[in-house]
Structure 1
Amino acid sequence: MSSSDLTGRLRVLAVVCVFAVLAGCNVRPLYGSLGPAAPAQEELAAIEIAPSESRSEQVLRNALIFAFQRGGQAAPVRYRLKFISNLTKSSVAVEELSDVPAAYLVQMTTSFSLSDIETGRTLLTGSSFANASYDFSNQRFANQRAAKEAEDRAAKVIAEDIQVRIAAYFADSRS
């Protein structure tokens, strides 16, 4: 038996092993569709989101509504999503000679709970956080606007995280 025969057999064996490992994998799109509807999209569209209590929570709620319904019609409500957010601001840099903050960090932490409306059973709970920074200047309006935009960025990051976690939950529960 020559070394080229042995190399050829090892290659065939390696290919067979790779296909055997890949045969156990289940690959399917989370949001895309293989058939009549996306695996998780129907479930996401059926989520009612609790009202918000602050401006940053409203930004989060709006981002979630758009993400769940994809700009279309809402499905009949089967699930309820509640969340509580905490927003803090802290200075992260100080100008040398004036002791005035040069930059701030906005930290937003949100705890959420997804429940089935019919049974009242909690399906998924979790917590998500995001940080966003902004520069501080000597213009008051610019500082207020920069702070609001940092809050919006943090809320949108959290909305994406919550959406992915809930979509993964529904996709996993269907399989």
Structure 2
Amino acid sequence: MSLSDFTGRFRVLGLVCALFVLAGCNVRPLYGTISTGSAPAQEELAAIDIDPADDRVQQVLRNELIFLFQRGGEAAPARYRLRMILNSTKSSVAVEELSDVPAAYLVQMTTSFALSEVATGRTLLTGSTFANASYDFSNQRFANLRAARDAEDRAAKVIADDIHTRIAAYFAEQKS
């Protein structure tokens, strides 16, 4: 047996193994219609009512989720309710060498959420997610306030994307 025969057989064997691996793959579009004719996950997402916010950061998170769920369209009649608990902390991560003043801060956010049916009150999905965002500290007061607010907004958007993806995946799984 020559080296080229061995290489050719090895390639064919690799191709057959790859086909077996891909045969078990179940890929389908998250927002498209499924071949059974059921409604896409987007219709379920538009029917989620989100509890009111208590502060500015929670309002940013809520607004992001509303936009992600409704895609800028009209809200459907509420069939689901999303409750969230957001915790946020700020800590210094770098200190100026000679002045002992923070040079950078880290905003850490953790959110627990629960999705339930409005009609029955039955909990469908629970989870927790987190995000971190850092910002530099300067000697300008207004710049520090804006940098902190921007870091909070960035972290809230990351959390909103994660919650949206998890809930969309849940509905897509239920439809299959």
Scaled by the length of structure 2, what TM-score is found? 0.88
- Match of 1:64, SS? helix
1:57 maps to amino acid = Q
Correspondence list, 1:13-28, <5 A: 15=15, 18-28=18-28
**CA displacement at 1:97 relative to structure 2:** 1.1
Query: Does residue 137 of structure 2 align to residue 127 of structure 1?
Result: no
Cα deviation digits, residues 111-159 of structure 1 (max 9, x gap): 0000011111000001110000000000000000000000000000000
RMSD: 2.3
**CA displacement at 1:49 relative to structure 2:** 0.4
Identical residues among aligned pairs (%): 76
Correspondence list, 1:1-175, <5 A: 15=15, 18-33=18-33, 39-175=40-176
Alignment partners' CA distance in 2, 1:5 and 1:140: 73
Q: Report the more deviating stretch, 17-26 or 132-141.
A: 17-26
Alignment partners' CA distance in 2, 1:89 and 1:8: 59
* Alignment check: 8 A CA contact 1:80 1:115 kept: yes
Scaled by the length of structure 1, what TM-score is found? 0.88
**CA displacement at 1:107 relative to structure 2:** 0.5
- Match of 2:133, SS? strand
1:73 maps to amino acid = E
Alignment partners' CA distance in 2, 1:148 and 1:8: 60
* Alignment check: 8 A CA contact 2:30 2:172 kept: yes
- Match of 1:88, SS? strand
Q: Report the more deviating stretch, 91-100 or 22-31.
A: 22-31
**CA displacement at 1:32 relative to structure 2:** 3.8
Alignment partners' CA distance in 2, 1:20 and 1:37: 29
Alignment partners' CA distance in 1, 2:39 and 2:156: 26
* Alignment check: 8 A CA contact 1:47 1:79 kept: yes
- Match of 2:164, SS? helix
* Alignment check: 8 A CA contact 2:94 2:102 kept: yes
- Match of 1:129, SS? strand
Q: Report the more deviating stretch, 11-20 or 83-92.
A: 11-20
**CA displacement at 1:25 relative to structure 2:** 2.6
